Amino acid sequence: MEFRPCIDIHNGRVKQIVGGSLRDTENRAEENYVAGENACFFAEIYRNAGIKGGHVILLNPEGSQYYENSKNQALAALQAYPGGLQAGGGITPDNAFDFLEAGASHVIVTSYVFRDGRIHFDRLKKMKETVGRSRLVLDLSCRRMSDGYHVVTDRWQKITDELIGEPLLDQLSAYCDEFLIHAVDVEGRAEGIEEELAAFLGRWEGRPVTYAGGVHSYEDLDRLRELGRNRLNVTIGSALDLFGGDLSWKKILEICEK
C-alpha cells in the first residue's frame, strides 16, 4: 500500500472540500480547509519526502473565472516536482500536453470520456493515442446507488449508468496505467472508509488502484490494508495534518511503507 498525496485546487487556492458539495454554479463548495500556502509548497514537501504518485486536481471547469488561476497553480506544482505528480481535472487531448510538459507523470481523465451517462470509447481511444496508455489514469469516482456503485463525472455532479465491477475494470484496463477511485459519498467527511467498495477493489487483481474517501484514523488505514489485501494505494485529504487534520503525514507514510 502506497500513500498517494493530493493537492486539490479550487478558485485558485489549495483546499480540502466535501466532495459531494462541489457545484459549478457560482463556483461553490463546502470547505474543510483553505491553505495559506500555494500548490508549490505542498509539491515541494512531497518531493523532499520522495513520495511519488500523488495528484494535482483542478476543481474548476474550463470557462470558470477561476480556471486559469487554478491551472497556473497546478502547472507550477508540477514544475516543482517533475515526474512526481499526476494531474487531473478537465483533461482532454487538446490540453493534456500542457500538464505533461510541465512535469506530470500521468494525466487523470473522467469527464472527457463520458457523455450521456455512458463511456464513449472513441474518446477513450483518442485519449490513449494522444498520451499513451502508460501515462493515462482513469478516475472512476463513484456514488453508491441501489444497484451498486455508479461512476460519477463532471466534478462528481453527474451520475452515469456505468457500474463499478470487474467487467468495467477489466475492459478499461486496456486503455490506462492506473485507476483513481474516490468514494464520493464519504469524500471529505473524515468519517470512515467505504468498506464494501474497498473490499471489492482489493479482490480485483488488475491494474494499480488508488482509493480515496473517508480515512480519518490510523485504524482506518489498517482496515483499508486488510480489506484491500494490501493492493490498494490510498489518498488522504481533510484528515491530514497538512490540511488541518489530526493525522501526521509522516506517520501515514511510515504505516504505508510497512
> Residue 189: is its pLDDT beyond 80?
no
From residue 66, alpha-carbon distances to 8, 26, 100 in Å are 14, 10, 21
Return all residues near 7 (Cβ < 8 A) that are at least 6 apart: 14, 39, 42, 43, 54, 55, 56, 57, 74, 77, 85
* Pairing relationship of beta strands 54-58 and 85-88 according to DSSP bridges: parallel
Gap between the Cα atoms of 86 and 47, Å rounded? 13
Q: Determine the pLDDT at residue 190.
A: 62
Using pLDDT thresholds of 50, 70 and 90, give the confidence band for residue 33. confident
Gap between the Cα atoms of 152 and 165, Å rounded? 14
- pTM (two decimals): 0.92
Using pLDDT thresholds of 50, 70 and 90, give the confidence band for residue 191. confident
Percentage of the residues of the chain whose pLDDT score is greater than 70: 93
Could you identify the residue written with the cell 462541489?
22
The arithmetic mean of pLDDT across residues 210-236, rounded, is 94
Q: Which of 14, 33, 10 is nearest to 23 (CA)?
A: 10
